[in-house]
A and B are shown apart, each in its own frame.
Chain A
Amino acid sequence: MDEYDWRSIDVDQYDPEKQFVPDDLGLPKYTLEDIQPSIQLMRQCTASGDTIQGIKAAVQSPPYGAANEVKSAYLQAALDVLSTSKQSTASSVISKLSQDEQDVLVKLVFALMDTKAGQKVGGSLLGWLNKVVEASGEGSLVRYLSDPYKL
């Protein structure tokens, strides 16, 4: 007989009353115009080498749940900020971020790892992740895993 994982059977799939409907997160529909100001700010900071302000701009109000082209435009700008900064300054940059800002930074890093462009500079992204975990413990990782607001 075939090995069949009976645990993976969704026994409730035909029962409309037993479907889990997640809470509505109440997110706005982000458009490219909405995120233009923060992208502008991030680009300026990348050009001037101001990593702290760049990251602060990136973690201010990310377009959670936005359409793919909006997301990728935002992530590209954030990637430029992270990948152009020096790894040696990462610790001091992270120490200037608040706990909430660090948690959003973790979300950005994970979202970037999912993109082609991000994978090319994977080492630098992992470096950032490492520094955040050093600063605020594994709590920032479990918060990422269980957070419904994702990019």
Chain B
Amino acid sequence: MSQPIELNLSKVPIYDHCFFPDRSRVVITNGPDAQIFDLTDSSGKPRLVTTLHHHDKTVTALDVSIDGKIVTCSQDRNAVVWSPNADGTYSRPTLVLLRINRAATCVKWSPNGKKFAVGSSARVISVCYFEEENDWWISKHIKRPLKSTILSLDWHPNNVLLACSSTDMHVRVFSAYIKGIDSKPAPSIWGERLPFKTLCLDYSLGSWVHDVKFDPTAEFLGCVTHDGCVSIVYPGAEELEVSNVIKVKTPSLPFDTLIFATPSKIIAAGYDCHPVAIEGDAETGWNISYSIDDPTKKKHNNLENQSALDMFRRMDLKGSDSSASSKLLTVHQNTINVIRPFQSDASGNVLRFSTCGNDGKVVIFEV
């Protein structure tokens, strides 16, 4: 296994990051801005290409669509779509009226890039789409039965179904079908007739649900909750029926984010600062299989700060003269906020994935 690629991009926490489809550039949140870094520079270091400045409060999430449009959303209650110019640069922000009175917390493009969904603390999901007549992004709200802040969103590959997780302990699947934008989806396990706002699944996991993802076959959901568990929810044939829920209790601190590497392998990460792989299926159950970047397999390197200056600095700052380093043994030095797939093989299995964290790093790991 090769070493993880570590990119130190920011002095402040990175709440979300997204690579462009060709993997040459990455967009990160940086306080009230979003920044694009080029990773193919001849110096070998990430080079700042553009700073996208429009918001006046912290940017909480961003996403890049399949055709290169960037959407950012912020605690200032707005979302902004940045469309690429002909030469691939970004300069034109378009404000999206979300009609919410609390911070926007998460945003995701639909797989075809025609619409996106924004979750917020106003217990509303805004499904936004482009209206040609007015040259304007407009939003439709999903309100019921959401009872609290939306923490994450994920689109079904059919561009219609939307999974959301919330601090009201529930994970839900809605239809975000927009007339005139979407074609009628084929019937699936999630339902047959799917007008806008149809609730397709609603299940309480008993604590805050930090992240939810459809598995690659889009037959079930993976969720991570604040009680340190990873839950896999299988829908049933009846309306709103849940046929099976597998809850994997882990010995670690809560996970914040997850992806499916394959339909039978989840990668999750969070407050323990290193990713963990969980494998299984509906019949045999799911279990933790291994840790990526496992701190228990590493040793503190005490040689890194043996100088007299460091010793006095430690005595001054921490009142300690021990030479043990206070660095964590993991690559990430703080909570991991978001995992995204980085590179997949021909059959769609994730080979490498990227993470961003509160330590201002983006790291690319092998599965």
Which residues of A line the B interface, CB within 8 A?
A: 20-21, 23, 99-100, 103, 136-140, 142-143, 145-149
Interface membership of chain B positions 154-173, coded 1 if the CB is closer than 8 angstroms to chain A and 0 otherwise:
00000000000000110000
CB distance from A102 to the nearest CB of B (A): 9
Name B208's contact: one of A23, A137, A139, A146 (CB within 8 Å): A146
Residue of A nearest to B226 (CB): A146
Residue of A nearest to B169 (CB): A23
A99, B250: Cα distance in complex, Å: 10
CB of B204 closer than 8 Å to a CB of A: yes
Number of B residues with CB within 8 Å of any CB on chain A? 19
The 9 closest A-B pairs by CB, nearest first: A137-B251, A146-B207, A139-B228, A143-B227, A146-B227, A142-B228, A139-B251, A146-B226, A99-B249
Is the beta-carbon distance between A23 and B204 smaller than 8 angstroms? yes
CB contacts under 8 Å to A, within B217-251, are 225-229, 249-251
CB distance from B181 to the nearest CB of A (A): 30
CB of B5 closer than 8 Å to a CB of A: no
Which chain B residues border A145 with CB–CB below 8 Å? 227
Which chain A residues border B252 with CB–CB below 8 Å? 137-139
Is the beta-carbon distance between B227 and A142 smaller than 8 angstroms? yes
Is the beta-carbon distance between B251 and A143 smaller than 8 angstroms? no
Residue of B nearest to A136 (CB): B251
Which chain A residues border B253 with CB–CB below 8 Å? 138-139, 142
Which chain B residues border A140 with CB–CB below 8 Å? 251
CB contacts under 8 Å to A, within B180-206, are 204, 206
Which chain B residues border A139 with CB–CB below 8 Å? 227-229, 249-253
Majority-rule SS of A interface residues: helix
A138, B148: Cα distance in complex, Å: 27
Which chain B residues border A137 with CB–CB below 8 Å? 250-252
Q: Which of the listed residues A99, A100, A136, A137 has the most CB atoms from chain B within 10 Å of its own CB?
A: A137
Residue of A nearest to B206 (CB): A148
Which residues of B line the A interface, CB within 8 A?
A: 147-148, 168-169, 204, 206-208, 225-229, 249-254
A142, B229: Cα distance in complex, Å: 10
CB distance from A25 to the nearest CB of B (A): 9
Residue of A nearest to B204 (CB): A23
Which chain B residues border A142 with CB–CB below 8 Å? 226-228, 253-254
A149, B227: Cα distance in complex, Å: 13
Is the beta-carbon distance between B206 and A138 smaller than 8 angstroms? no
Beyond A23-B169, A139-B250, A146-B206, 19 additional pairs, beta carbon < 8 A: A20-B147, A100-B249, A136-B249, A137-B250, A137-B252, A138-B251, A139-B227, A139-B229, A139-B252, A139-B253, A142-B227, A142-B253, A143-B229, A143-B249, A145-B227, A146-B207, A147-B207, A147-B227, A148-B207
Which chain A residues border B168 with CB–CB below 8 Å? 20, 23
Is the beta-carbon distance between A21 and B251 smaller than 8 angstroms? no
A23-B169, A139-B228, A142-B228 as given contacts; A147 in contact with B206, CB under 8 Å: yes
Is the beta-carbon distance between B228 and A21 smaller than 8 angstroms? no
A58, B246: Cα distance in complex, Å: 25
Is the beta-carbon distance between B147 and A143 smaller than 8 angstroms? no
Is the beta-carbon distance between B250 and A146 smaller than 8 angstroms? no
Which chain B residues border A136 with CB–CB below 8 Å? 249, 251
CB distance from A12 to the nearest CB of B (A): 10
CB distance from B174 to the nearest CB of A (A): 19
**A-B CB contact pairs (8 Å), 5 listed:** A20-B148, A103-B249, A139-B251, A142-B227, A142-B254
Q: Which of the listed residues A99, A103, A138, A142 has the most CB atoms from chain B within 10 Å of its own CB?
A: A142
A23, B147: Cα distance in complex, Å: 10
A142, B249: Cα distance in complex, Å: 11
Residue of B nearest to A19 (CB): B147
A137, B254: Cα distance in complex, Å: 12
A136, B251: Cα distance in complex, Å: 5
A20-B147, A23-B169 as given contacts; A143 in contact with B204, CB under 8 Å: no
CB distance from A134 to the nearest CB of B (A): 10
A146, B229: Cα distance in complex, Å: 11
Residue of A nearest to B148 (CB): A20
CB distance from B128 to the nearest CB of A (A): 23
CB distance from B166 to the nearest CB of A (A): 11
Which chain A residues border B227 with CB–CB below 8 Å? 139, 142-143, 145-147
A77, B149: Cα distance in complex, Å: 41
A4, B228: Cα distance in complex, Å: 35
Which chain B residues border A99 with CB–CB below 8 Å? 249
